[in-house]
Structure 1
């Protein structure tokens, strides 16, 4: 009977050692997976920081572009006003030239008429 108890205890000891060995292996596997998750999290956090930095740079660039467009808009508005003013002056000059041309034609007509009388 002592032998049976000893064999039973030995069998239990072997089984418990196997189970502890399996548990240790599972714990190692879990620790490896946990380490991988932590490394992945660090990479994600670094990527998130870089993304935040990139977004900040994009916003700054966007503000610079807005400022540049605002400056261009004001310059274009001034150019439009200047062009409109010049077109008005050209229109006045054309009207004046037409008026002078008409006066010249009348003078030529009068001179021709006068020359007909003299002949």
Structure 2
């Protein structure tokens, strides 16, 4: 009878150990994905700043060019409006991408919390 209990305990321990290793692997993968998403968010933020700088530079170039070209105010405003519209569309696309990445990152953080709780409960 003791051998059966010992065998059962040994089997339970092996099963627990396999599950724990699986949880550690999953946690590691989720952390990797979160880190990757963080890097992507940083790049997107850098891209947004670059877009803003380019827009500012473009506006300055337009101001300098108007003196040379002698365009009417209406023509200059049309060019500026087109540039702003295009930039606005690009920024909206980037903002949508940031929202998706934020949702994904939040989901991964929640998965990590769940896995930590499971690990904590199993270690008791």
TM-score band w.r.t. shorter chain: 0.5 to 0.7
Residue of structure 1 equivalent to 2:17: 17
CA distance in 2, matches of 1:19, 1:46: 41
CA distance in 2, matches of 1:69, 1:9: 87
Residue of structure 2 equivalent to 1:38: 38
Residue 66 of structure 1 deviates from its aligned partner by 2.1
CA distance in 1, matches of 2:49, 2:14: 52
Residue of structure 1 equivalent to 2:60: 60
Residue of structure 2 equivalent to 1:106: none
Deviation per residue, 1:68-104 (Å, 9 max, x gap): 334x88xxxxxxxxxxxxxxxxxxxxxxxxxxxxxxx
The number of residue pairs the alignment matches comes to 72
- Point out where structure 1 has 5 or more consecutive residues left out of the alignment: 74-119
CA distance in 2, matches of 1:3, 1:51: 71
TM-score (norm 2): 0.53
- Point out where structure 2 has 5 or more consecutive residues left out of the alignment: 73-124
> Which entry has the higher C-alpha Rg, 1 or 2?
1
RMSD, aligned CA = 1.7
